[in-house]
Amino acid sequence: MKTVFVLNGPNLNLLGTREPAVYGAHTLADVGQMCAAACARHGLALRFHQSNHEGVLLDWIHEAGRLHAAGDLAGVVLNAGAYTHTSIALADAIKGTGVTLVELHISNVFARESFRHHSYLSAVARAVMCGFGVQGYGLAIDALAQMQAAA
């Protein structure tokens, strides 16, 4: 059984209470349940994590890279939060591991502040999703499953 990593960056632990008009009322635990259901539909295992620390996210991407090299990874869904706009280290890890990655944003970042319009991750991501709310997580897992089936 192949694995999907769903990685969440800084402040996503505040889902449900942080700016509900932007991010909605679902909690991170709700998102984890949605991801588990999406993985189950496709016969995939789920690794679901959140950290406010960039280095921890890097370690998980490296771990996903080891699974990728062994042929045991379906892909990574990464909502890097604000690190999207600041982290060359995350971009380098994605590129260096060769993982299939979907960059995900709950809100439509292009309808928000201009600093959110630039992503260091998009150039190394297989796909970018934004503006679907937390339902985007399930859509991203569906997309990874389709990419896996096509490979």
Residues contributing to the annotated binding site for substrate: 79, 85, 92, 106-107, 116
Mark whether 23 is an active-site residue.
yes
What number of residues does the chain have? 151
Which residue is catalytic, options 26, 68, 105, 120? 105
Q: Which helix (H) or strand (E) holds 34?
A: helix 28-41
Among candidate residues 23, 83, 120, 137, the one labeled active-site is: 23
Residue ranges of the annotated binding site are 79, 85, 92, 106-107, 116
User: 54-69 and 88-97 are packed helices; what angle lies between their axes, rounded to 10 degrees?
Assistant: 10
Provide the phi-psi class of 11: left if phi over 0, else alpha when psi is between -120 and 50, else beta: left
Specify the residue for token string 């694995």. 3
Q: Catalytic amino acids? A: 23, 105
